[in-house]
Amino acid sequence: MAIRMIKLILNRIFCIFNFRQLLVHLANKDLKIRYKYSLLGFSWMIFIPLCMAIIFKIVFSVIVRISTPEYPFFIFLMTGIFPWSYLSNTLFSTTNCLVDNSNFIKKVYFPREIIPLSILVNNLISFILMIVVALVFIFLSKVEISKYIIFLPLVIFCQTIFMVGLILIFSSLQVLYRDIKYLVEILLLFWFYLTPVFYSLTLVKQVSNQFFNIYMFNPLTCLITLYRITLIRNYTATLPPDLNVSYVAIYSSFISFLFFVLGLIVFSKNDRRLSDYV
C-alpha cells in the first residue's frame, strides 16, 4: 500500500514537471490579465505591500504607539500579516479556480493541478516582494536583522508546500461539493484569530499551559514564529522560555510535507471525476 502511494505521488510530481511550460504560461497569463488595464501595471505588486507597511508604521508608531524594547510593533505585525496574506489570498483565489476554468479542463488534457499551482506561483512572487519590503522597513527602523536570515528561503519553501497541499485539497473538493468555498471563508476567519498575527505567543502562554500546547499544533503559528525568528534579531528572547525552537522547525517541516503529500493524494483520487463535475 505504501509503495503504491509513493508511486502515485511521484507520478503526479513528474506529470506536473513535464507540463512545467504550461504552468509558466498560465502563471504569466494570469499575471498579465490581473494588471492588464491598470496604469501602474506590475508596479502594484510592490506598491500594495509598501502601502501596507507605511500604514502599519503610521498607525502603530504615531497614533497607537505600541512598541517593545526589542523592535517596533509594526515590524512584529508586518512579519505576521504578510505570511498570512500569502496564505489567505491564495486559498481565496484557488478554491474555485477549477470550476472557473471548466471549459479549458473539458477541452484539453493536462494535469489539473497546473491551474491552482499557476495561481500559487503568482502569489508566491507577490509574497517574495512583501518580504523584500519587510526587510527594507526592518533596516530603516534600525532593527537588527537576525543571523538566521539564511534559513528564510527554507521557511518560505515550507509554507509554500504546505499551501500546495491545501489548495489541491480544497480546489478538487470544490468541484464535487460547491459548499467548500464557503467553508474556506469560515475556516480563514477562525484561523486568523487563532494565529499569532497581532498578538504574541507569551499572551497565549498566560492562558494556560494546556491551551498553549494545543495552540502550537496550528501549522501557521509555527511558520509565522519561524519567519520572525529569521527576520528579527533576538526575537527568540521574547518567546516563552520553555518553547523549543527546534521542535517548531521540525514540526513545521513535517506538517508541511504531510499536507503536500495529502494534497497530491486527494487531488489524484478526485482527478478522474473532475471533468464530469466542472
Helix (H, G, I), strand (E, B) or coil at 153: helix
Q: What is the pLDDT of residues 27-44, one digit of tens each?
A: 888 777 776 666 666 666
Residue 65 confidence (pLDDT) above 80: no
Measured CA to CA, the distance from residue 255 to residue 6 in angstroms comes to: 17
The three cell numbers locating residue 152: 528564510
Q: What is the pLDDT of residue 276?
A: 66
Cβ–Cβ under 8 Å, residues 181 and 95 = yes
Residue 207 confidence (pLDDT) above 70: yes
Question: Please, which residues bridge with residue 72 across strands?
Answer: 67
Residue 118 confidence (pLDDT) above 70: yes
Return the DSSP state at 61. Answer: I
- 239 conformational bin, left if phi > 0, alpha if psi -120 to 50, beta if neither: beta
Interaxial angle between packed helices 245-277 and 152-176, expressed in degrees from 0 to 180 and rounded to the nearest 10: 30
Query: Within a 10 A sphere around the Cβ of 75, how many other Cβ atoms?
Result: 26
Q: What is the pLDDT of residue 68?
A: 66
